Structures are given as C-alpha cells and as structure tokens.
A = this chain, B = another copy of it.
Amino acid sequence: MSDVIETTPGWLTPGELELARARMPIVYVEAVPVRVDESGQVTRIGLLLRIAPDGTVSRALVSGRVLHHERVRDALLRHLEKDLGPVALPLIPASPQPFTVAEYFPTPGVTPYHDPRQHAVALAYIVPVAGDCRPRQDALDLVWFSPQEAASPLVQQEMPGGQGVLLKQALAHVGCLP
C-alpha cells in the first residue's frame, strides 16, 4: 500500500497519523486498473512497478487512504489520478459495493493481508481505465498483464503484503482466474 502521507492542512500531521495508526483501523481504497473489450471482458490488468531504496522490485495495485470528509468514490478518483496520471480516464464504479474488503493487519497471519505500519480496512474495486496511463510520484511504471500473467507465481511473488491474493480475488470476481 502507498507510503505517501497526505499533509494537507486540516487533516492529520505525520505525527498524528502515526498515533492514529497505532490506535484505530484506517479506511483505505484499493483499485485494480483493467483494460476491457467492447463486451466488458477484462483483457489486461495494470500493476504499478516500484523500486524500493534497497533495489527491491515490487508490483502494486492503486491504493491509498480515504481522507476526512472525502467520499470513497472521490478517494478512488484521487488515488487513480495520482498514480496513473491526469488522462487515464478511470471509470469509477457506479455502486459503492466493493468486490471485497481486504483487512491489512500489523500482525501477519490474522488475514491474508499484512501491513506492518497499521490496521487498514481497504474497500477494493475493479476500475476500467480507458485513457493513457502516465504514472507519477513514486511509481516508476505501469505494466499491463494478461490475466494469466497476473496470476502467475512470478508476478504474485512481487506483490507483498497480500496484494497478490487481492489481485487473484479480483480476477475471480471478473471471471478471469486461470
């Protein structure tokens, strides 16, 4: 999940965020960017490529916090624009019903998801993306995978914290689990 900390005035300072993270679950959204054909069938899944300071390569879904007084759909749009650029044209779902809820615990093993920094409750959505994606911020690149590639051990092992499991759940939801 994104390491970016929002510091907009009126929201949490980094210190307050650290405190809150130790005391209560944090609301997150997660988006699985997909390309679809004319019939809505998923043809490609987009994963962000990140390279950590120690050189470790990892792949990630679009993910981030919901801010105070921000709607879930606005948080989805904001994080997609931040990670995919301003002309990605994401089609935010009309319904707030997520395909699943991923519960990231600071303790590994409670659920399939793990985040050492916090207890995050993430609402997960499939988001078709129609435009050009130009990753910004800490994302180096966005790579499109076929459903088969996305579910392969090679890609799965590059997705830490259980995001590989979440990706497979997304593939199952759209009927593309190999």
Chain A interface residues (CB < 8 Å from chain B): 11-12, 16, 20, 22-27, 34, 36, 38-42, 65-74, 76-77, 91-101, 103, 105-107, 110-112, 119, 121, 123, 126, 128, 165, 168-169, 171-175, 177
B74 touches A101 (CB 8 A): no
Chain B contacts of A175 at CB under 8 A? 95-96, 100, 111-112, 169
Copies in the complex: 4
A95 touches B174 (CB 8 A): yes
- Known contacts A23-B11, A168-B172, A169-B172; is A96 also within 8 Å of B101 by CB? yes
- Known contacts A96-B100, A121-B72; is A177 also within 8 Å of B173 by CB? no
